[in-house]
Structure 1
């Protein structure tokens, strides 16, 4: 994947594009993560699919400090498609936070979304990560010190979010800004989830500590044109069970004749 940038809403956005002649697929990452977390999935889906992954505002190599609200996230995704002159509806893969943005995008811009894959995220969000995230701030002289602060469960998933700076290592997002984004995505999203009509696949990580598999199953049951699948994985299904996840994704997209 090649890294590119564009400007929208006064923000410079960074994104990764697999390029080639494949059909475009938009990927939206979860909180704490970034576009680079989809690189291996993009390789697996190539050359049939051209994965385009956005560093959402406040994360990765995209500018930090911009306003955080759902309308902005939706507008950012549309702006990326417009920047690439992609006018036809595309499948959208959304992991966690990115999944919330994906189903809001499908509700507001049904002409942009051909299908959506919602990875391990529900529709009733009441999160408060402040107790353990606030102490991630700052620069750590040793990378190992930052990894220790993140803890053994989360550190492996945040390797792509650790970056080298002048005086050591830090995260490529501000934990305080993440908390703003978390608040912007909290709430009851059931009505939004039920508004869209495109085919949808809800994927649950059977070992996830973030989402409730029962809620995800009900999401698929209550919405037309939606299916549920569960894989043996944690919250980041596309990382923990990449091969199975990619096969599931391919099968779903083929069923939709995409």
Structure 2
């Protein structure tokens, strides 16, 4: 299954109020969207099949508070593919972006896979102002599997490779704003199937709770009230494992928190970031 960036997808960048930045981590060239401004840097780490541009509707609403910099995680968007796709690889890429762009004690915001990356970076002792983890996968060895199967992800990538549209995306994600359905239709083909498969395997072999207790305050864990990824039992365990953390629940939202219920999710995120800055 080929990875490709469509011309129509590249044209979307003309409507994004951000500048492309490039950083190298070894042989891997990493792309990020930098929204600029004088605020505290906020490095945004998206999910398993979410190129940077798909977080635009979140990032652009934060520029009065912070300087959002949204990473195309390796194997997605305009960033290179890598030889491997471990949590350590993703954490190393994040540190390379922080160093390469000269970011002084940034905040980290991660959704899903990105939340796991943020936790790994913070637990490793990086100089950060704080972290916001949004619906991190709590699957891992000896735990319930991640609720979306690899076959489902690969099926979506196959649809994108043959050519999909917003109507087809809407059948899987009917609650999403139309623009976000359109962006997913145009950008999903930029996701490397090997990267997705390796990351999905990591959801089962790399334990979030190895890093989470070591994530220093201030940290906020935001989760969807209806998420199958961060369940009520998962919240209880996470509270016990990191008592200094703050917890925020977004009503009427599943795992795709910002897409499922955009306005409350962004409002609660703004409140969390205000507290951190």
Both structures adopt the same fold (TM-score exceeding 0.5): yes
3-state SS of paired residue (2:61): helix
CA RMSD of aligned residues (A): 2.4
In 1: Cα distance, 2:59 partner to 2:154 partner: 32
2:219 to 194, 200, 208: 200
- Residue equivalent to 1:236: 256
Residue pair 1:107, 1:193 contacting (<8 A) in 2 also? yes
CA shift for structure 1 position 151: 6.8
2:97 to 60, 80, 83: 80
In 1: Cα distance, 2:243 partner to 2:161 partner: 47
Q: Which structure shows the bigger proportion of residues in strand conformation?
A: 1
Residue pair 1:217, 1:228 contacting (<8 A) in 2 also? no
CA shift for structure 1 position 91: 1.5
Give the alignment's TM-score, normalised by structure 1.
0.85
Q: How does 1:208-219 map to 2 (within 5 A)?
A: 208-219=227-238
2:81 to 41, 44, 64: 64
3-state SS of paired residue (2:107): strand
Structure 2: 5+ residue runs without aligned partners? 1-17
1:117 and 2:132 are equivalent in the alignment: yes
Moved more, 155-164 or 14-23: 155-164
- Residue equivalent to 1:160: 183
Residue pair 1:162, 1:172 contacting (<8 A) in 2 also? no
CA shift for structure 1 position 251: 2.3
Q: Which structure shows the bigger proportion of residues in helix conformation?
A: 2
1:94 and 2:114 are equivalent in the alignment: no
1:226 and 2:245 are equivalent in the alignment: yes
In 1: Cα distance, 2:255 partner to 2:85 partner: 23
Alpha carbons of structure 1 residues 133 and 254: separation in structure 2 relative to 1, 3 Å: closer
Q: How does 1:133-144 map to 2 (within 5 A)?
A: 133-135=153-155, 136-137=157-158, 139-140=161-162, 142-144=163-165
- Residue equivalent to 1:182: 200
CA shift for structure 1 position 147: 5.9
Residue pair 2:72, 2:79 contacting (<8 A) in 1 also? yes
Residue pair 1:122, 1:212 contacting (<8 A) in 2 also? no
Residue pair 1:221, 1:227 contacting (<8 A) in 2 also? no
1:103 to 93, 111, 119: 119
In 1: Cα distance, 2:138 partner to 2:161 partner: 34
Give the alignment's TM-score, normalised by structure 2.
0.80
Residue pair 1:134, 1:175 contacting (<8 A) in 2 also? yes
Query: Deviation per CA, 1:163-214, whole angstroms, max 9, x where unpaired?
Result: 38xxxxx611133430112213433231311012221111111222333233
Alpha carbons of structure 1 residues 94 and 217: separation in structure 2 relative to 1, 3 Å: farther
In 2: Cα distance, 1:158 partner to 1:7 partner: 31
CA shift for structure 1 position 103: 0.5
Alpha carbons of structure 1 residues 190 and 9: separation in structure 2 relative to 1, 3 Å: same
CA shift for structure 1 position 215: 0.2
Question: Number of matched residues?
Answer: 247
